[in-house]
Amino acid sequence: MTPEGQTLLNQGATELGLNVEGQLPQFEQLLNLLVEANSRVNLTALKTESDIVLKHFVDSLSCLRGGHLDGAGLRVLDIGTGAGFPTLPLAIVRPDAAFTPLDSIRKKIDFVRSAAEALNLTGVTPLVGRAETLGRDPDHRETYDRVVCRAVAALPILAELGLPLLKPGGLLVAQKGPIGEEELHAGRRAAGEVGGRVTEVDAFTLPVLGDARTLVVIEKVGPTPKKYPRREGVPNQQPLF
Ligand code: SAM
């Protein structure tokens, strides 16, 4: 990573209240692995160092705002992790948590697995599959303390995919761009239908770049009816609200 890249990462992390000086070598290694893999397979549209540092690394770390991922030994599922975001940056700064990055696309999970191994992130267990399938699997349903997801789907869809996988009292932390009243309203209704309640809508700007971001937090306040999640593809094709 160039000195400029390091400065951007430090500056972004500092604005989020984090100190990542000690983890710079791991972020540098992740950057190199991503750039190298991206030259062979199309993993992510972001290709420049500053884009990867700010829009992948710092953006993923912004998930830590509000302290929703604080606490030792949390089990965290990342739905639609793609090339490992937000899981990989989070796992670098939260080595005590157990992360399960999930994606339906095998080549993406192959990269996440090899990167986690190279970075010695022993708490990361990547999984190929769909959230709808996992949500009906007794080995996964209601077993996670947190579900995170970045840039995956509209809020009502995320509620249906994420809530079945949370333990009672668990939190879904959805990372989104600017969110409209309509989506938020539909998200609140969908959350209610699957045993959740929107407890926080945190609108902020991304460090350095100033792009608008929103963290929406849904708490699991009651059981999720057995009929959810519906079968593969249905939450997307026919959102609850
Ligand atoms: N979270 C990553 C990021 O922010 O860079 C990737 C975002 S990408 C736009 C969305 C990803 O979600 C894709 O890789 C897609 O395969 C995955 N995805 C969408 N719906 C899914 C589902 N129901 N189960 C598992 N993965 C899903």
Residue 61: pLDDT over 90: yes
Residue 99: pLDDT over 90: yes
What CATH number is attached to the domain comprising 75? 3.40.50.150
Name the closest-CA residue to atom 4, ligand 1. Answer: 150
Residue 205 CB neighbour total at 10 angstroms: 12
- Distances from the Cα of 71 to the Cα of 150, 170, 202, angstroms: 21, 12, 20
Whether residue 86 is preceded by a cis peptide bond, meaning omega within 30 degrees of 0, is yes
Ligand 1: distance of its center to the CA of 3 in Å? 31
Residue 134 placed within a domain: yes
Which residues line the pocket of ligand 1, CB cutoff 6 A?
79-82, 85, 102-105, 108, 130-132, 150-152, 161
Residue 185 placed within a domain: yes
Strand extents, DSSP E, the chain: 75-79, 98-103, 127-128, 144-150, 166-176, 196-205, 212-220
Ligand 1: distance of its center to the CA of 43 in Å? 11
pLDDT band at 162 (very low <50, low <70, confident <90, very high): very high
Q: Give the strand pairing for 166-176 and 75-79.
A: unpaired
Residue 195 placed within a domain: yes
For residues 9 and 15, what is the distance between their CA atoms, to the nearest angstrom? 10
Number of domains within the chain: 1
Mean pLDDT of the chain: 97
Residue 159: pLDDT over 90: yes
Q: What pLDDT score was predicted for residue 43?
A: 87
Q: Report which ligand 1 atom has the smallest distance to the Cα of 132.
A: 23
Q: Token pair of 54, please? A: 């700010």
Residue 198: which of 171, 161, 238 has the closest Cα? Answer: 171
Q: 2-11, 17-26, 40-49, 96-105 — which is least confidently predicted?
A: 40-49
Contacts of 126 (CB under 8 A, 6+ apart): 81, 100, 101, 102, 109, 112, 113, 116
149 touches 79 (CB < 8 A): yes
Residue 52 placed within a domain: no
For residues 193 and 223, what is the distance between their CA atoms, to the nearest angstrom? 10
Residue 101: which of 133, 123, 77, 122 has the closest Cα? Answer: 77
Q: How far from each other are the two terminal CA atoms of the chain, in whole angstroms?
A: 44
- Long-range CB pairs of 225-232 (<8 Å, 24+ gap) are 225/193, 225/194, 225/195, 228/135, 228/160, 228/163, 228/164, 228/193, 228/194, 229/131, 229/132, 229/135, 229/136, 229/160, 229/161, 229/164, 230/132, 230/160, 231/132, 232/130, 232/132, 232/133
Residue 117 placed within a domain: yes
Residue 48 placed within a domain: no
123: domain range?
A: 69-237
Q: Report which ligand 1 atom has the smallest distance to the Cα of 232.
A: 23
Residue 179 placed within a domain: yes
51 touches 31 (CB < 8 A): no
100 touches 77 (CB < 8 A): yes
Kindly provide the ipTM of the predicted complex, given to two decimals: 0.99
Ligand 1: distance of its center to the CA of 153 in Å? 8
Q: What pLDDT score was predicted for residue 119?
A: 97
134 touches 165 (CB < 8 A): yes
Name the closest-CA residue to atom 12, ligand 1. Answer: 80
Average pLDDT over residues 5-24: 96
Residue 86 placed within a domain: yes
Name the closest-CA residue to atom 5, ligand 1. Answer: 85
Q: Residues 165-199: pLDDT tens digits?
A: 999 999 999 999 999 999 999 999 999 999 999 99
Q: What pLDDT score was predicted for residue 29?
A: 98
Q: What pLDDT score was predicted for residue 229?
A: 98
